A = this chain, B = another copy of it.
Amino acid sequence: MALKKGYAGQDCSLARTLELVGERWTMLVVRDAFYGVRRYSDFLAHLDIPRAVLSARLRTLTESGVMERRRYEESPPRDEYVLTEKGRRLWHALFALLMWGQEFAGGTTVRRRYLHAGCGTELEPSGGCAACGRAAVPPEEVELRPGPAADGPAARQDPVSRALLRPHRLLEPLET
C-alpha cells in the first residue's frame, strides 16, 4: 500500500479509507471510472500515468472490491474495469473534493458541470439537488456536461478528453 506500515496505529475509518483510496493516482482512476472510462488504454491516455502505477492501482482497487475486472470480449480477450457498488458509493466523497477544488484551488474556470439528470438542475456543492429536495443524488442520476472553459487552450486532446466534451451520464461507458 502506502509506505512502510500503511497508517498502522490509526484505528480510524478515515485512515482505513486512505489505505484503500488515498494513494497517489487512485482517486483520479476512480474519478475516470465515474466518467465512464473502463479500458486500460483509456485510463492511460487520459491520466498520463506510468503504466506500472496504473497496473498496480487497478490491482489494489480490484483486490479491495472497489472495482471489478470483467471480460467483455472473448476473442480477442478484452477486460474492462468497472466500479462496484462499494466503489460507486465513493461518489459523494469524490464530488465533495471536486467542489472544494473548484471553489478553493481552481481559479475561475469551470471545465465541467454536474447536473441532476431529468430534472436538469445543477448539483449543490453538498451533492444534493435543490430542485428535487434530494439530499444526495446518486451518481447514476448525474449528467456530466462541459462547462464554459471545457474546450479552452489548455484542454487535453486525447480521445477520452474529447469524448467528455459531449453530455454524458456518469458510469455509462464512454464512446471513444
A contacts, CB < 8 Å to B? 2-3, 7-20, 22-24, 27-28, 31, 47-48, 64-65, 86, 89-90, 92-94, 96-106, 111-112, 124-128, 135-136, 154-156
Q: When the two chains form the complex, which single residue of B24, B102, B106, B125 contacts A2, counting CB atoms closer than 8 Å?
A: B24
- How many angstroms between the C-alpha atoms of A18 and B155 in the bound complex? 19
Contact present for A48 and B13 (CB under 8 Å): no
CB-based contact B97/A14 at 8 Å? yes
Cross-chain pairs A/B with CB under 8 angstroms, 12 sampled: A2-B24, A10-B48, A12-B111, A14-B28, A16-B101, A18-B97, A22-B27, A23-B24, A89-B100, A90-B100, A93-B100, A126-B128
Contact partner, A3, options B7, B24, B154, Cβ 8 Å: B24
Given contacts A11-B154, A18-B28, A126-B128, contact A96 B98 (CB under 8 A): no
Other-chain residue from B10, B13, B24, B128 in contact with A99 (beta carbon distance below 8 A): B13
